[in-house]
Amino acid sequence: MAEALSVTLHALAEEVASGSSDPVDIGECRSAARLTLRRTTLSGAITVNVETAASESGPWRPAGQLVAGKAVHVARLMRYLRVSWTVGVPVEFEVYGDAHTIYATPDGIELPVDVLDDFTEEDKAEACITASCEAEGYLNAGYTLPLAKWTPELARHTGMIAAWNLVRKRGVRADGADELVKTGRDEAIQWLSRVASGKVVPPGLVDSTPDEYDAGGFVISDAS
């Protein structure tokens, strides 16, 4: 997870009334997150929602709801994140996690629509995060992560891996119907392996290598 950005959406504190946190900038390329709600006050009801917006002033739209003590995955995020909460009595809690660049979105998972309907939005978000992290294990061999731009080819192969992640989580069907999904995943890994070895160089991948020399001063002299 080389590109993961640690985020704290609500530092540990007690809230006595409903409200929302300050916006957190996760960058232009990150569109998914794994977040955890931890509460230290065990009594009293609390509802915590994740919200996202293109600018820090909003408008804000819902992205998911958190469950205390459980890592929740959300996708389809814009540049800014925050949480809003509803409490009836004082509750002390915190919300933290990490934001990710995902190379395949939930809509780009390589499964038929009727099969995708069997999975929740959180399932899809988790599959995309895991698949993108797996892809980065190969990309890291030749690119400085995170990637700033990538190609439809990388998105497609990451979507194949995400599809297999979902199928494996659900349980592989014994009738062989999921064999094509496994074949697609294997094809994606083979392609990523060729990228890692330099045999394939996708022309549209732009990594985080600085545009300018920034390693300090140097001297150029004439030949003796």
Domains and CATH numbers, the chain: 5-100 (2.60.120.1110), 106-197 (no CATH)
Average pLDDT, integer, range 148-170: 94
> Residue 128: its pLDDT value, please?
97
- Decide: 9 and 82 in contact? Cβ < 8 Å: yes
Of the chain, the percentage scoring pLDDT greater than 90 comes to 73
Q: How confident is the model at residue 223 (pLDDT cuts 50, 70, 90)?
A: low
Q: How confident is the model at residue 42 (pLDDT cuts 50, 70, 90)?
A: confident
> Residue 171: its pLDDT value, please?
87
> Residue 213: its pLDDT value, please?
46
> Residue 1: its pLDDT value, please?
44
pLDDT in tens, 95-105: 999 999 999 99
> Residue 214: its pLDDT value, please?
47
Average pLDDT, integer, range 118-127: 95
- Decide: 65 and 47 in contact? Cβ < 8 Å: yes
Q: How confident is the model at residue 172 (pLDDT cuts 50, 70, 90)?
A: confident
> Residue 110: its pLDDT value, please?
87
Dist. CA 34–CA 208, nearest whole Å: 23
> Residue 120: its pLDDT value, please?
95
Dist. CA 79–CA 194, nearest whole Å: 32
Question: Residue 167 corresponds to which tokens in the numbers above?
Answer: 């199928």
* Top mean-pLDDT range of 114-118, 150-154, 203-207: 150-154
Helices (H), the chain: 113-116, 121-139, 152-170, 179-197
> Residue 18: its pLDDT value, please?
95
Average pLDDT, integer, range 7-28: 96
> Residue 215: its pLDDT value, please?
47
Beta bridge partners of 87: 46
| Residue 51 reports pLDDT greater than 50 | yes
Of the chain, the percentage scoring pLDDT greater than 70 comes to 92
User: At 72, which helix (H) or strand (E)?
Assistant: strand 71-74
Mean pLDDT across the chain, nearest whole number? Answer: 91
> Residue 220: its pLDDT value, please?
56
- Decide: 95 and 51 in contact? Cβ < 8 Å: no
* 10, 32, 98, 146, 181 from 5: Cα distances, Å: 15, 11, 5, 10, 30
Q: Coil, helix or strand for 119?
A: coil
DSSP secondary structure letter of residue 158: H
